[in-house]
Amino acid sequence: MRCLLMTLALYPPVEEVGNYTYGYDHCMKPFRIRMAHDIIASYGLDKKMTVLQPPRATAHEMTQFHTDEYIEYLRRVTPEVAEIMPSYNECFLPLLDCPPFDGVYEFCTISAGGSMAGARRINHGEADVVINWAGGLHHAKKGEASGFCYVNDIVLAILELLRYHQRIVYLDIDVHHGDGVEEAFYTTDRVMSVSFHQFGNFFPGTGDVKDVGVERGKYYAVNVPLREGIDDETYEFIFRRVMRDVMETFRPSAVVMQCGTDSLSGDRLGCFNLSMQGHAACVEFMKSFNVPLFCLGGGGYTIRNVARTWAYETAVLLGEKLDPSLPYNDYYDFFGPEYTLDVPASNMTNMNTRQQLERLCSEIHEHLHRIPHAPSVQMQQVPRDWPGESEESDNLPVTDSD
């Protein structure tokens, strides 16, 4: 069994990320990244890991997945441009979900840059556990934005990992289906995408258990469609069954995990009933497999709960126990009246039955056993890093753990 080398946190400039806004009435609040970082720092967790401020992604790097036209549009669009060119704008941005806010391109370069830098650290053996809570924007498509996501940092990170790793598992515990990532790798057997999500008259409407991939990728897409109200006990039951089966069958050399917190109880958009501990138990379970693990952010629209949970999951990845009473921090008033590090479940009805979950497990097990164990990949020369990457990596501002 291998030992984890270190935990690495990739914090884009927190003040910058927190200053971007999708709009006053929009439920996506980048400000939550700053709140999460502040709790992490107030517990002293930043002193127990290596912290980087990675370079921003370039347009050239982002077009490894996205089209040239789309990235060029993001570079040029402003609220004023979108207003005078509405028909052109509709080709790339669904306005209600993905408004062309001021600084949208810079915001995307920060998120994508963090995820690509984290993947390179794993590739070079510099860390086995990596965190980028500003990443996880899983809905973005090759040539358009979707579901509050403009640039798919996850796909870019996985493409980077595939340069060194034969097989990657992408795991998504956001309440919404990870459609953008699944679609990007729907025809390959080198990435197995696994998504646990609410299904049925719920955005984005994809992710049926029968959606399993096509061509070489057939049975390498695993979808776990769930009903509203699922609680910790039933979620843990199906999560452990499915992920143990996935890891034993596919045997990946790295896992990318999208930790969207809209699956928590009380989220403004999600209808699951997970507690903070139930959500974090998934992270702890994946850490137990002792393969490189890259944890990303994602959805989450009750921002005080987002910040609490990502701070707690940072501690889980570090193997640290935290006092449930929140230390004083810059956003302390957001966490009243209880001022605790906790997101409890509610008494909402769980519409998922054990019989239904057993059927799901059986169907997914059958799909997984139609693929060969640990599919072989022809050995080939690893492509060189992008020009300047090695130099950039060596010169990043770094705070080493004590």
DSSP 123-169: HTTS-SEEEETT---TT--SSS-BTTBSS-HHHHHHHHHTTT-S-EE
Q: Encode pLDDT of 244-282 as tens digits.
A: 999 999 999 999 999 999 999 999 999 999 999 999 999
The amino acid at residue 241 is: R
C-beta separation of 162 from 227 below 8 A:
no
Higher pLDDT residue, 163 or 390?
163
Give dist(CA 208, CA 194) in Å, integer: 12
C-beta separation of 306 from 331 below 8 A:
no
SS3 282: helix
384 band by pLDDT with thresholds 50, 70 and 90 = low
Give dist(CA 20, CA 177) in Å, integer: 25
Q: What is the pLDDT of residue 90?
A: 83
Unique residue bearing structure tokens 């700053």: 34
pLDDT at 5 over 60: no
The conformation of residue 2, written as its DSSP 8-state character, comes to: P
C-beta separation of 394 from 52 below 8 A:
no
Higher pLDDT residue, 132 or 378?
132
Unique residue bearing structure tokens 């080939």: 380
Give dist(CA 371, CA 147) in Å, integer: 32
The conformation of residue 303, written as its DSSP 8-state character, comes to: H
Q: Is 139 a catalytic residue?
A: yes
Q: Which of 139, 176, 197, 367 is catalytic?
A: 139
370 exposure class (CB count in 10 Å sphere: 0-12, 13-18, 19+): exposed
C-beta separation of 273 from 230 below 8 A:
yes
18 band by pLDDT with thresholds 50, 70 and 90 = confident
Distances (CA, A) of 158 to 116, 200, 291: 8, 28, 15
Torsion angles phi and psi, residue 122, rounded to 5: -65, -45
What's the sign of the alpha-carbon dihedral 379, 247, 295, 151? positive
